Amino acid sequence: MKYLLHLLLLLFVVGGCANSPDAEEEPGNIVIGFSQSGTESNWRKRHTESIREELDKEGYEVLYRNGFMNQDRQIQDMRTFIAYKVDMIVFTPIVEDGWDAVLLEAKAAGIPVIVVDRHIRTTEENLYLTHIGSSFKSEGNRAGLYITNHFQNSSQSSVKILEMKGLANTSPTNFRSEGFMEVISRDSRISIAASLEGDFIRSKAKDVFRKYIEENGWEGIDVLYSHNDEMTLGMLEIMEENGIVPGQDIIIVTIDAQAEMIENLRAGKVNCVVECNPNAGWYVRNTIKRYLNGNTIPDEIYMPETVFSDTGNLDSIPPREY
């Protein structure tokens, strides 16, 4: 099989095929097809690095493809992996639905699939080995808990929140909203005044937030809850342009904990940063090893995460890798 794999790769390279996966120079005994959803943020770049670094430590040959935020492209890449007869597929889905056909093809070919980061929905069971990633609902819970604690002893009669959501029809967006609402609903004063969509992209959130401020002003907003740091960074620019003092005029809660956002937390520009751990590599590597050794793999593998806020010791925050 490995001889055929390298022959196919050689033909693709010689033929100048731009869609062929990137293979490592030193092939291992196991070939892993890795389809990443994109490179839209420093978080995502670190996520990719983490997985590739850990698979390299194990000596696996990695065929890596970047989906560039396009589901059709990811499906095409996965079908290429199946044609190459890789030993396993690791992929981070861009959206929740629409994966059944390619997963059925992988299953028919006897190729196990690990879903990393975002969740997926399938009409049939047992189409993939396991899911490895964050508990997005817990991240929303932690964000909501900061808000309820912050206003717990306040005499303020109402607290209005602007929520900047991520990409529609994705598990981080859905669960971060659900978890947040679950907590803030315990305080009848707190409510969502507006929900906008920034698609997890800085420029998109910046434009959407600018339009909202132009049409509605900002005085009615007490809290900004953002589903990721990239969108928050874009909105901070708009606040500064409009003379809004972030972290004071508007309480800001964001998710990811990128290095730049931790610096903003230390500077008082944001109030709470909920960590979303990008370092999935060890968990992916360990799961593959356990599977190959015949161990039972759980359906869900959650990664540890924490929260940083202006109520904690900011000097104790470890250096960020992203």
pLDDT in tens, 128-177: 999 999 999 999 999 999 999 999 999 999 999 999 999 999 999 999 99
Note whether residue 60 is domain-resident.
yes
Task: Examine the domain organization and report whether 263 and 150 are in the same domain.
Answer: yes
Q: Into how many domains does the chain fold?
A: 2
Examine the pLDDT at 18 and tell me if it is beyond 60: no
Task: Examine the domain organization and report whether 161 and 81 are in the same domain.
Answer: no
- pLDDT tens-place string over residues 187-225: 999 999 999 999 999 999 999 999 999 999 999 999 999
Examine the pLDDT at 3 and tell me if it is beyond 70: no
Note whether residue 175 is domain-resident.
yes
Query: Could you tell me the two tokens for 207?
Result: 């434009």
Residues 55, 283 contacting (CB under 8 angstroms)? no
Task: Examine the domain organization and report whether 248 and 297 are in the same domain.
Answer: no
Give the Cα separation of 73 and 245 in Å (integer): 42
Task: Examine the domain organization and report whether 168 and 193 are in the same domain.
Answer: yes
Q: What is the mean pLDDT of the chain?
A: 92
Note whether residue 48 is domain-resident.
yes
Q: What is the DSSP letter of 250?
A: B
Task: Examine the domain organization and report whether 176 and 239 are in the same domain.
Answer: yes
pLDDT band of residue 29 (cuts 50, 70, 90) is confident
Quick one: pLDDT at residue 7?
40
Task: Examine the domain organization and report whether 230 and 153 are in the same domain.
Answer: yes
What percent of the chain clears pLDDT 90, i.e. is strictly above it?
Answer: 90
Domain of 73 in residue numbering reads as 2-134+278-304
Quick one: pLDDT at residue 180?
98
CA distance readout (Å), 174 to 96, 165, 168:
10, 9, 8
Task: Examine the domain organization and report whether 116 and 6 are in the same domain.
Answer: yes
Residues 254, 272 contacting (CB under 8 angstroms)? yes
Going by C-alpha positions, the residue among 100, 86, 72, 130 that lies closest to residue 297 is: 130
The CATH number for 176's domain is 3.40.50.2300
Give the Cα separation of 78 and 80 in Å (integer): 5
Write out the H or E segment, with its range, that includes residue 25. none
Averaged pLDDT, 283-287: 98
Note whether residue 313 is domain-resident.
no
Examine the pLDDT at 282 and tell me if it is beyond 80: yes
- pLDDT tens-place string over residues 46-99: 999 999 999 999 999 999 999 999 999 999 999 999 999 999 999 999 999 999
Task: Examine the domain organization and report whether 162 and 266 are in the same domain.
Answer: yes
Task: Examine the domain organization and report whether 219 and 246 are in the same domain.
Answer: yes
What is the pTM assigned to this prediction?
A: 0.88
Task: Examine the domain organization and report whether 96 and 119 are in the same domain.
Answer: yes
- pLDDT tens-place string over residues 240-269: 999 999 999 999 999 999 999 999 999 999
Give the Cα separation of 226 and 74 in Å (integer): 27
pLDDT band of residue 13 (cuts 50, 70, 90) is very low
Task: Examine the domain organization and report whether 171 and 206 are in the same domain.
Answer: yes
Examine the pLDDT at 35 and tell me if it is beyond 50: yes
- Number of Cβ atoms within 10 Å of the Cβ of 50: 21
